[in-house]
């Protein structure tokens, strides 16, 4: 069955770079007869079409500023499109940035619950997976310590652990597999493979071409907001390496 999990249809996104954030300057500008520009724009995405089937794992590749992260944000719903449409099926969980919902003044345990629910689980589900989450993160006895006392590695491990245990239908990953030391990275990759085998749809944004070659079977290459290639991961990686 090849049902679509994500349909991105002719999507464009223009960013307004506003030069002021104060009402006074805007009013002054209005009174001066709107001389000069208060803002300039640039196209982050320009008519992009991507369809991802259920169970596929797709890498979004491209250089910095090519619009990968913007596309991921549009899919997760954090941003809305200017033109075109984005549609998704099932529960989408975004790892747009690890630990976004973590609060430094709460303990590890409180953060696990807050983030589990933030990422779309119920409190009961979080409760049920709590031990698994803690075990995976290797945080151990520090779980009841406030997160601000964690080392950056511990923090990221716990955040990642919560995210990969949410069991979404569509999993969006932005440059997060560079978490922790090598053994933990391996564990993360194994966990992602597991999710993939269980039928979860993956969309990965990363600059680590070796890693995406292992995790994804398809690659979409973006350049300055336009889709320039869409095919097997090996070809996409080669295209990117050759420039």
Partner 1 sequence: MSAELLAAPDKGGGLLDVLRRRELLRLIVRKELKVRYRSSVLGLLWSYVKPGVQFIVFYFALGVFLGLNKQPNFVIYMFSGIILVNFFSEAFSNATRSVVANGALVKKIFLPRELFPVASVWVAVVHFLPQFLILLTACFFFGWSPSIVQIIGAVGAFVIVALLSLGLGLLFAAANVMFRDSENIVDLMLMMATWLSPVLYAWYLVRDTLGETFYFFYQLNPMTIAVELFHFAFWAPTAAVRTAAEGARMPDNLISLWLPVGLLISAVILAIGQTVFRRLEGRFAQEL
Q: How far is the CB of 106 from partner 1 (least distance, A)?
A: 6
4 binds partner 1 per the rule CB under 8 A: yes
Per CB under 8 A, the list member of 22, 32, 64, 183 interacting with partner 1 is 22
Per CB under 8 A, the list member of 84, 90, 130, 223 interacting with partner 1 is 90
Q: How far is the CB of 201 from partner 1 (least distance, A)?
A: 9
Q: Choose the stretch contacting partner 1; rule: CB under 8 A; options: 28-36, 78-86, 207-215, 235-243.
A: 78-86
Long-range contacts of 119-123 (CB under 8 A, 24+ apart): 119/93, 119/162, 119/163, 119/166, 119/168, 120/91, 120/93, 120/166, 120/168, 121/166, 121/167
Which residues have a Cβ under 8 Å from the Cβ of 168 and sit 6 or more positions away?
90, 91, 92, 93, 119, 120, 200
Contact by Cβ (8 Å): 49, 12 = no
Question: Measuring CA to CA, how many Å separate 135 from each of 94, 143, 150, 158?
Answer: 22, 10, 16, 10
Q: How far is the CB of 32 from partner 1 (least distance, A)?
A: 18
3 binds partner 1 per the rule CB under 8 A: yes
Binding mask 32-51 for partner 1 (x = CB under 8 A): --------------------
Per CB under 8 A, the list member of 43, 47, 89, 230 interacting with partner 1 is 89
When the beta carbons of 88 and 161 are compared against partner 1, the nearer one is 88
Cα torsion angle, 31, 33, 38, 42, sign: positive
The two tokens of residue 109 are 């345990």
Query: What is the end-to-end Cα distance of the chain in Å, rounded?
Result: 36
Residue ranges that bind partner 1, judged by CB under 8 A = 1, 3-5, 7, 15-16, 18, 21-24, 26, 54, 73, 75-80, 85-92, 94, 96-97, 100-101, 103, 105-106, 110, 113-114, 117-119, 122-123, 169, 199
């Amino acid at each position: 069955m090849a049902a679509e999990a994500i349909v991105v249809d002719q999507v464009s996104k223009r960013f307004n770079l506003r030069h002021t954030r104060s009402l006074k300057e805007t009013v002054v500008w209005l009174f001066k007869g709107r001389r000069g520009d208060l803002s300039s724009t640039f196209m982050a995405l320009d008519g992009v079409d991507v369809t991802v089937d259920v169970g596929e794992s797709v890498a979004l590749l491209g250089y910095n500023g090519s619009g990968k992260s913007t596309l991921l944000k549009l899919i997760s719903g954090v941003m809305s499109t200017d033109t075109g449409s984005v549609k998704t099926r099932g529960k989408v969980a975004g790892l747009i940035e690890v630990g976004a919902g973590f609060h430094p003044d709460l303990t590890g345990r409180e953060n696990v619950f807050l983030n589990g629910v933030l990422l779309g689980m119920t409190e009961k589900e979080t409760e049920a997976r709590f031990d698994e989450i803690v075990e995976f993160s290797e945080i151990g006895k520090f779980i009841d310590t406030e997160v601000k006392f964690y080392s950056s590695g511990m923090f990221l491990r716990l955040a990642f652990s919560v995210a990969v245990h949410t069991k979404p239908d569509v999993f969006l990953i932005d440059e997060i597999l560079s978490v922790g030391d090598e053994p933990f990275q391996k564990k993360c990759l194994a966990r992602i493979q597991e999710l993939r085998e269980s039928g979860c749809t993956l969309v990965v944004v990363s600059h680590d071409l070796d890693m995406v070659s292992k995790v994804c079977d398809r690659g979409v290459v973006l350049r300055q907001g336009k889709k320039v290639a869409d095919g097997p991961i090996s070809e996409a990686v080669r295209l990117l390496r050759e420039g």
